[in-house]
Structure 1
Amino acid sequence: MSTEPRRLLPLLTSHSSHRTGRSATTCEYRCGNACAHPAPNTSDNSYFGDIAKNVLSRRGALKATAVMSATAAGFAALSGTAAAQGAVPAALAGRRGNGKPSRPAEGTDFEPVEPNTADAVHVPDGYEQELVIRWGDPVLPGAPEFDFHNQTAAAQARQFGYNNDFVGLIPQDGAGRRNLMVVNHEYTTEPHMFPAGSYDADNPTEEQVRIAWAAHGLSVVQTLRDPRGGLRVLPSRYNRRITADTEFEVRGPVAGSDPLKTSADPSGRSVLGTLNNCAGSVTPWGTVLSGEENFHQYFANADSVTDPVEAERLRRYGLAGGETSRKWERFDKRWDIAEEPHEPHRFGWVVEIDPHDPHAKPIKHTALGRFKHEGAAIKITKDGRVAAYSGDDERFEYLYKFVSNGRYKPGRSAHARRHNSRLLDDGTLYVAKFTGDSPASEIDGSGRLPSDGEFDGRGEWIPLASGTTSHVPGMTAEEVYVFTRLAADRVGATKMDRPEDVEPNPVTGRVYAALTNNTDRGAAGKAAADEINPRDGNRNGHVLEWEEDRGDAVSTTFAWRLLLVCGDPAAADTYFGGFDKSQVSPISCPDNLAFDSHGNLWVSTDGNALGSNDGLFAVPVQGRERGHVKQFLTVPIGAETCGPVVTDDVVLVAVQHPGEGGTPENPQSHWPDGGNSPARPSIVAVWKRGRFGRPGHIGR
């Protein structure tokens, strides 16, 4: 554990500032500097009256009112907020009746880490940490050791990829001693991947481009829990690299359709590679779902398309004209829209990897829709169907749900995995519409709580398509799946503040979404603040929770409320579930979500706008500690906290893009190896000293 001193930072910043904690380099290479361009969603979201009429006729007004009232009451009782606590004021919900701090919720008994800007991972006193694997470490048999000055594409294709994001841990035995670890490699930052002076952004070499192709995708490694602490990567037949050149099977309702056909794949059923894989999830059947996010930045010459319908479809996904930053189109025509106009339609899907079978072809699931998926997470409905939740990570985009027609088969056998994977190819795709319950005059964009003391309300899932049937006037089912953003625009979905990770709570059954930020909220010509997105110029983001009616993921209505309105606790526009704000850690820009076995929410951040490094935070979601945010760790300077995995005895985080605020000539970070070494994205394990391998002790 690092002994570098921690220091507190000034946390209040101007609300007129649009600054976040991301460097210009990160913004350019991770998402094509999307926030510096106009948001692609310019729709006015007119809500079709016939759709509203159909929704109401399916339910019946009286029945809907009764369900809404019952769910709202149950939600309040579960949450431990003031409404459920009688006379206990919301502001004191985190204190005992005698005014003393309440006992920490089980799983959160640690001293919070202070905000800092150190080039290190800082963990609480009494905890230890260790690297699990770094960019360039061997994955496949015969892979060479990493040599920063002599990289090759052939070597990188057998080594751990760049910019690790999602981490999934899948036990292979009852004790969880052996596990399969699956990691996304979201994007490459070529100027930082090669020695200073060796990479010309205007004229990259073909070998450098091929190294970048090999550094994308996913890694699968088998790990063994070391009795002394941490995880050790094993040489194993399970180890695998998936790259931008790996063949994927296209499945679902638009497999083989015209928009997916190219000269290299006239069948429209086989795609090479996966790109910009951000968050993900481990399915109940033991596979991994991974979301393809900012794919738009990899494709050149969108301005070559003259057909106005096709041009608008590209614009709606953020594809622009001219060369790309990486110049991949110089070495393979599939990255050039002028040559292959359908290739972009083959990205932006949820992909599925079976880590138990290193020879299984990965899958792109088209029934879950095409957009900039942060990830996808599964919940089983009461009647045994599969619901998959996903956010579209861009300003003013939407939240989605898919519900299968077929039933889940318990187990992780090869047969169960094949059966359950097929469930994701046949069902109904929905998009969310939210309504607040406060008078419009009380939602003024300041973040001030309305008179009922909460940002809350009702929501509904609007159907977009079911199999080959479209529910969107003027669009075929094929168009709905391939151009899902346009379909959601038409049905009046609610524009959100960058909806990222969406995760169901395995203990309470409620669902949570991270809304990272949106500095354009309330700007001239943009969507104004509403109760679900209550702040103009939202730099710090918020966390949403909802409960489906009857507690069933098959329901098309739900009750919602904001758990956190993030930022400086001393600022008037922040809210921490009703908990006493003087006791919480500052938190900014929530991104990835996870849960521990007690049902506590763990939040990793991306782009801290408060002047500190990003980190990982624990948040109880029920009882008297609801909303008590505590910072568990911070990552090195310039880095983003990804993953995470939280088990009873170990926490895993992916440290992404450390030091990207510097330059190759003047590095900002030398983490994790120190000295004059290049910064290397890595996976870190953290555990309580003397407690590794003893369940229930990560937060005690």
Structure 2
Amino acid sequence: MNKKTAKLLAPVLGLSLLVPSVFPLTAQAASPNKIKSVEFEGMAAPATPEDMAKAYSQASLKVTFEDGGVQSYPLTYKTLFKSTDKINGTPAGMAVDVNGKPIMDNSVPGSPVPFVSDAPDSNSLLEVKGAKPTGLGGNPLSLLTHYEYITSDNAGKSAYGIVPASISLTTLDQDKKTGELKATDLKKVDFSQAGGLWIPCNGSLTPWNTHLSSEEYEPDARAFEKDPTQTYLGAYTKTFYQDDNAVVNPYSVGFIPEVTVNKDGSSSVVKHYSLGRFSHELGKVAPDRRTVFFGDDGGNTMMFLYVADQAEDLSAGTLYAAKWQQTSGENGGAADLQWIPLGHASDSEIKTYIDQNLKFSDIFETADQDTEGFTKIKTYPSGKMEWLKVKPGMEKAAAFLESRRYGAILGATSEFNKMEGVTVNQKDNKLYVAMSYVEKSMEKDAKGQDPADHIQVKKLKAGATYELALKGGQTDAGQKAIDSDYVPSSMKGLVIGEDLAKADEKGNTAAVDKVANPDNLSYSESLRTLFIGEDSGMHANNFLWAYNVDTGKLSRILSVPAGAEATGLQVVDDLNGFGYIMSNLQHPGDEMILPDELKKQVEGYINELWDNKKSGSVGYLSGLPALKDIKRENGNNGNNGNNGNNGNGDNGQHQGRVLLRDIAEAVGAKVEWNNTDRSVSVTWKGRSFVVKIGEASAWVDGKRVELDSKVELENERTVLPAGELESFLK
């Protein structure tokens, strides 16, 4: 055949999700070689007990070219390591004390072992310029990963909140040709100068390449002062310092640490006290490098906004809290937002209060009923009615150590419920916020007893992801200008779950083809896609979803084991020409909602795959090429080494066999890959040619035709005997 070959567009195993920052979603001029659109083709929910115990993907990314050509790129889930795996001798999820030594689990007499987490959460994949090579020939990358908590000790007793949490810093080798990641070293981040790490949940990578960690579910300082045993803090502190006499201070935790990775492989930690103290799910920095958005996890929580004094410096700034001004109660509700200034502070100012061992009673006066001069509020962490008055001169301490209580006194809304992940859509000036369960404090106060009832939306236990409009030129409640172009002005439900009246055959109590209880969020500017990870007790399996913000299409792209949570979501649009969707799973098999017989079957597989429920997974979705592999380049004879040809300009022929896509697309035929049955379809002039991997036959216009040999994948390229395909394309 005297035809030019097209550059092969085949999925390459080991590569991660393509999300390059220059992805050409909108063509500038009509061309058969340019991409018209991209969308995710979702997968079905797992049907068998074995699949319900796995972490896997059967989804794909569909790429449509301007000439109508279509290519699908199948996704696969790749585990970098389990939390129990040792990397250079260090268990990834191991808890360490103030001296960096393993914290030992002595719950089983005579069998001491290190505490190792089964709950990996946040990931920040990054590249540090000048980092030492790994020795494997690839690009050295760094991965920071949270280990949120230890579920239980070896005797089965809960260890949640008692054993200090940790962050691992993993050195990864990024293959320069394939983008595949491989862990080569792992060490624990040193929190000795930050007083340890208290229950880190999600996190984010800043625009200046540092990692914002988190500390959620801050201990109630009021309850602690009355009875220290009412919180986990005492045991946590003694365990971290390995000292029963260690000083315990509830105001030392509940903040956002910032982790910097250095080119020599070391790291440093700074806790940002001026960002406020509350149940930090995470902090996400806006494109201006000054404005920070937050999730505040728990019941009766609050929405906060922080504007730093200087870009790329979170050590001083102004903290605001939102007031919800409802405009609709449907589909998760909608509202305009008013921002109430809580105050301005620096980290050092607030740290001084902590070092003085300030107590709750040093900040507030209290009453037990409606009393003149006291404000009635209801917030997390107490969740109870309180009557409070700030002591003279303690406004700043109240604003930054008791941010939610002080915000409620000033009139901010403390009725949000399970506010989780946040992420930014820069092009459209949108912020997305996950509300895992839209219920309880977000419903109308039927008894009329709460001190405020700003939010009055219909109950939606399956939760919702909200879209918030970001604007500049906004003023706060005191009519003072807010110095940011990224101030949320309104919010509305965008991706809505659906509660079921009764459980289905697998125990699902929320519609299985919709998001239930959204948690992790991440957004790809290149793909125009919002990614949503679930933390659901309403789905038998939790999923990772892709939501196209232009078309509204929702696609399931990953399933994690029953009882596990999908965590660690991070989309990296372009890292040395490759993109990644990082995604972890934690506590597989925990609190499964399956019917008993099915649960027994699934549990057997989970115990086999996940070390008897002791392991979580740190990994990413892979299987798609980078930008250079998607752009079609006719006329190069495929001699760039990327298409598996022999380099002799043989027009796609391969020792008497041919590369199907090269031959078909060279004449303008449409080629589609079907991941379900591993078949390839060629459409040409109204006719069809279909082959399946492993079979020695083809279906030509619906009729079976025998081939000289089997259809095979070679380096993920479909190869088959030349004759029948060439005849079809004449």
- If the TM-score is normalised by the length of the shorter chain, which range does it land in? 0.5 to 0.7
- Residue 504 in 1 paired to residue 424 in 2? yes
Matches within 5 A, 1:65-464: 106-114=37-45, 118-125=52-59, 126-139=74-87, 141-143=88-90, 153=102, 162-172=118-128, 177-191=139-153, 194=154, 199=155, 201=157, 212-213=163-164, 216-226=165-175, 230-235=180-185, 239-242=186-189, 246-248=191-193, 271-296=194-219, 305-306=225-226, 321-322=229-230, 324=232, 343-356=249-262, 358-381=265-288, 386-406=290-310, 408=311, 420=312, 423-438=313-328, 443=329, 447=330, 455-464=333-342
Deviates further, 680-689 or 586-595: 680-689
| Structure 2 contact 168–189 (Cα < 8 Å) conserved | yes
Query: For the residues of structure 2 that align with 1:448 and 1:678, how far apart are their CA atoms?
Result: 36
Query: For the residues of structure 1 that align with 2:210 and 2:144, how far apart are their CA atoms?
Result: 9
The Cα of 1:668 is off from its aligned counterpart by 3.3
SS in 2 for 1:292: coil
SS in 2 for 1:481: helix
Partner of 1:674: 609
Specify whether residues 533 and 545 from structure 1 end up closer, same or farther in structure 2 by C-alpha distance, changes over 3 A only.
farther
The Cα of 1:345 is off from its aligned counterpart by 0.7
The Cα of 1:288 is off from its aligned counterpart by 0.2
The Cα of 1:184 is off from its aligned counterpart by 0.8
| Structure 1 contact 353–362 (Cα < 8 Å) conserved | yes
The Cα of 1:643 is off from its aligned counterpart by 1.5
Specify whether residues 676 and 500 from structure 1 end up closer, same or farther in structure 2 by C-alpha distance, changes over 3 A only.
closer
SS in 1 for 2:426: coil
| Structure 1 contact 387–403 (Cα < 8 Å) conserved | yes
**Deviation by residue 1:581-604 (Cα, 9 ceiling, x = unmatched):** xx9931110001001222311000
Aligned sequence identity (%):
21
Which 5+ residue runs of structure 1 have no aligned equivalent?
1-103, 249-270, 312-319, 409-419, 450-454, 572-582
- Residue 633 in 1 paired to residue 558 in 2? yes
| Structure 1 contact 659–679 (Cα < 8 Å) conserved | no
Task: Choose which of 512, 518, 536 in structure 2 pairs with 1:607.
Answer: 536
Partner of 2:18: none
Query: For the residues of structure 2 that align with 1:123 and 1:278, how far apart are their CA atoms?
Result: 24
Query: For the residues of structure 1 that align with 2:390 and 2:326, how far apart are their CA atoms?
Result: 26
Query: For the residues of structure 2 that align with 1:380 and 1:145, how far apart are their CA atoms?
Result: 32
SS in 1 for 2:440: coil
**Deviation by residue 1:257-305 (Cα, 9 ceiling, x = unmatched):** xxxxxxxxxxxxxx321121101110011100011012439x9xx7673
Deviates further, 478-487 or 278-287: 478-487
Partner of 1:686: 621
Residue type of the partner of 2:436? T
Task: Choose which of 547, 554, 564 in structure 2 pairs with 1:619.
Answer: 547
Specify whether residues 531 and 639 from structure 1 end up closer, same or farther in structure 2 by C-alpha distance, changes over 3 A only.
same
Specify whether residues 304 and 133 from structure 1 end up closer, same or farther in structure 2 by C-alpha distance, changes over 3 A only.
closer
Task: Choose which of 525, 532, 549 in structure 1 pairs with 2:471.
Answer: 549
The Cα of 1:486 is off from its aligned counterpart by 1.0
Query: For the residues of structure 2 that align with 1:595 and 1:499, how far apart are their CA atoms?
Result: 17
Query: For the residues of structure 1 that align with 2:92 and 2:338, how far apart are their CA atoms?
Result: 52
What TM-score comes out, normalization by structure 2 length?
Answer: 0.58
Query: For the residues of structure 1 that align with 2:464 and 2:451, how far apart are their CA atoms?
Result: 16
The alignment yields a C-alpha RMSD, in angstroms, of 4.5
Specify whether residues 553 and 617 from structure 1 end up closer, same or farther in structure 2 by C-alpha distance, changes over 3 A only.
farther
Partner of 2:410: 491
The Cα of 1:645 is off from its aligned counterpart by 2.2
Partner of 2:495: 564
Which 5+ residue runs of structure 2 have no aligned equivalent?
1-34, 60-73, 96-100, 106-112, 131-136, 351-388, 474-482, 503-510, 574-578, 594-599, 633-673, 676-730
Partner of 2:585: 655
SS in 1 for 2:202: strand
SS in 2 for 1:286: coil
Query: For the residues of structure 2 that align with 1:555 and 1:689, how far apart are their CA atoms?
Result: 33
Specify whether residues 684 and 400 from structure 1 end up closer, same or farther in structure 2 by C-alpha distance, changes over 3 A only.
same
SS in 2 for 1:121: coil
Query: For the residues of structure 2 that align with 1:143 and 1:459, how far apart are their CA atoms?
Result: 47
Residue type of the partner of 1:586? K
The Cα of 1:448 is off from its aligned counterpart by 6.3
Query: For the residues of structure 2 that align with 1:387 and 1:503, how far apart are their CA atoms?
Result: 13
Query: For the residues of structure 2 that align with 1:478 and 1:606, how far apart are their CA atoms?
Result: 34
The Cα of 1:478 is off from its aligned counterpart by 2.1
Query: For the residues of structure 1 that align with 2:516 and 2:451, how far apart are their CA atoms?
Result: 21
The Cα of 1:360 is off from its aligned counterpart by 4.2
Residue type of the partner of 1:133? F
The Cα of 1:682 is off from its aligned counterpart by 0.9
| Structure 2 contact 93–118 (Cα < 8 Å) conserved | no
**Deviation by residue 1:408-466 (Cα, 9 ceiling, x = unmatched):** 3xxxxxxxxxxx3xx2111111111121235xxxx4xxx469xxxxx434212211011
The Cα of 1:695 is off from its aligned counterpart by 6.8
- Residue 520 in 1 paired to residue 440 in 2? yes
Residue type of the partner of 1:280? G
Query: For the residues of structure 2 that align with 1:380 and 1:639, how far apart are their CA atoms?
Result: 33
Higher helix share: 1
Computing the radius of gyration from Cα coordinates, the structure with the larger value is 2
